[in-house]
Structure 1
Amino acid sequence: MDARILIADDDEKSITGLSALLAGLGYATEVARTLDAAVATAAWFQPDAAIVAPALSGDDPAATARRLRAACGERAPLLISLTGWGESQHREAALAAGFDVHLVRPVGLDQLTFILSMIG
């Protein structure tokens, strides 16, 4: 697969596990542990998708989505919110903030591969 996935989270276990899983599936992955690192990585890596903890910038998921989209310019990645919060208001908030998809951890492999199939 030629698809590039950025994983941005401050949870070390999430980053490590997800990165290993996606690399095993053939995706090129890069990781970031802060929003600033995610933005810098997105600018040069130009990911096809970004799996992001939506509150990486504190309590403002919209700032997280906005900064990542701006870093990628016209090549907008599929922005995937990955969080432990799964009630309908959390999904609605993530989508309103600018994420394309909201997933709840632990995310299933079938669900994740289905979502990533949207990037081609």
Structure 2
Amino acid sequence: MEQAFSGRRVLVVDDNADAAELVGEVMSLHGHDVVVAHGGKAALAAAATFLPDVVFLDIGMPDMDGYEVACALRRDPSFDTARIVALTAWGDLASRARAVACGFDGHLVKPAMLDSLINEAALAR
């Protein structure tokens, strides 16, 4: 069955390479164009050239955390319409509130259900 929003540009960011590749593969199988980055600085570099429609972003990363990445993306008008979704182990209320303050549009706690990932990728900002 073809997805209604196939063909979106999806950036997957996680310092855990296996987790990032798995989410990237799921998105590819659903017709999305995918780029995977394994850290915050790499994510910003990839976003600048790829111009993603959707960003699945881990929060707890060593070089630059997901909050910093989201704030940087939100300061750049090029990403005004990009949907940023936290994909993280941090699901407590404080983490969720900080994510909203940094410009995240959604928040999924690992391990996320495949349907949740697919649905988040289909949503518009």
Query: Is the structural similarity TM-score above 0.5?
Result: yes
Specify the alignment match of 1:90 in structure 2. 95
TM-score normalized with structure 2 length = 0.83
Please, which of 4, 9, 12 is the counterpart of residue 4 of structure 1? 9
Name the % identity.
Answer: 30
Does the 8 A contact of 1:5 with 1:28 survive in 2?
Answer: yes
Give the length in aligned residue pairs: 120
Stretches of structure 1 lacking an aligned partner (at least 5 in a row): none
1:67–1:38 distance in 2 versus 1, CA, 3 Å: same
Separation in 1, partners of 2:33, 2:15: 20
Note the aligned Cα RMSD (angstroms): 2.2
Please, which of 52, 55, 58 is the counterpart of residue 57 of structure 2? 52
Does the 8 A contact of 1:69 with 1:76 survive in 2?
Answer: no
Runs of 4+ in structure 1 over 3 Å off: 55-62, 69-72
1:119 counterpart SS class: coil
Separation in 2, partners of 1:74, 1:19: 20
Stretches of structure 2 lacking an aligned partner (at least 5 in a row): 1-5
Does the 8 A contact of 1:39 with 1:71 survive in 2?
Answer: no
